[in-house]
Each structure stands twice: as C-alpha cells, then as structure tokens.
Amino acid sequence: MLFTPTVIKNLLKKPATRLYPFTVREPFPNYRGELYIDIDACIFCGTCARKCPSQCIEVDKEQGLWSCDPHACVYCGICRDTCPTKCLHMKDVHRKPMTERIMMVEKGEPPKPKKKAAEAAPKAEAEPKADDADKGESKKADAKKK
C-alpha cells in the first residue's frame, strides 16, 4: 500500500520520456553521426584506413575504390580528422535502422602519377652513375700498377 501515492502521482504527471518514433529531438551540436565522403576530393592516400581504430575502411588506389563498413564503424571521427584533403565528413544525424547489411562503396578517379617522376626514372636508368664510372677508372689504375 506504500506505492499507491507514487502510482497515482505518476499517472497524473507528464511522461518522463519521449515517444521516440513520434517525437524526435534535435541532435546536439558537433554530433558525430553518419560518415560520408566527397569522392571527387579524395586522393586515395589510405590515411583514413590506417588510422581507423575499428579497421572498417578500405582504400584501393589502383581501382579508385573507397569502402566502409558502417556496422563496424564506431563513429569516433579519427578518419575525418586525419584526412589530408578533408574529404571525409560526418552528418549530424545517425543512420536509420536497416534490415540488411550494406557496405558503403564509392568509386572515384585515382590521381594520375606525376609526369616528371615518371620521365626521370627511365633517364636515370639510361645514364651511368658517377660512382660506377669512378670505380671503373680506379680498377684501370690498379691494373696499370701491377
């Protein structure tokens, strides 16, 4: 009988909780919600995949693929903070419940290799090194001494 006054008080008061599907509150400022990427700005460096604590991000530079498993992501924001081009962003709302497991896969254009570096490599192979030329001269000098 001690609970009767408490029960009556609770029935006459406003509910302490929200009716969630019908009443949704606004997210807090700087809320780390759903992760998304601006694939056109991505350089496919793989920094986000290396820094991710849950290892949910994979980057394939050759094919230009960026994929994330949103079910493994802990939404810590480390990938977003370490991205050199700042192409990763987090929405201020969380993902809606899903009935299927869906991977986030984005295909982009990987950056082209720099022409100067590509042209310098064949020239370096074609030209003899200065060290090799010095070694050849020193061998000839040794042979003459004998």
Domains and CATH numbers, the chain: 26-112 (3.30.70.3270)
Q: How far is CA 131 from CA 107, 134, 135, 140, 141, in A?
A: 46, 5, 6, 14, 15
Residue 27 has pLDDT above 90, yes or no: no
Alpha carbon distance 29, 19 (integer Å): 22
Segment 104-115, tens digit of pLDDT: 999 998 888 777
Query: What is the residue type of 83?
Result: C
Q: Indicate the pLDDT class of residue 20, thresholds 50, 70 and 90.
A: confident
Alpha carbon distance 67, 103 (integer Å): 7
Q: What percent of the chain has pLDDT over 70?
A: 78
- pLDDT at position 99 is 87
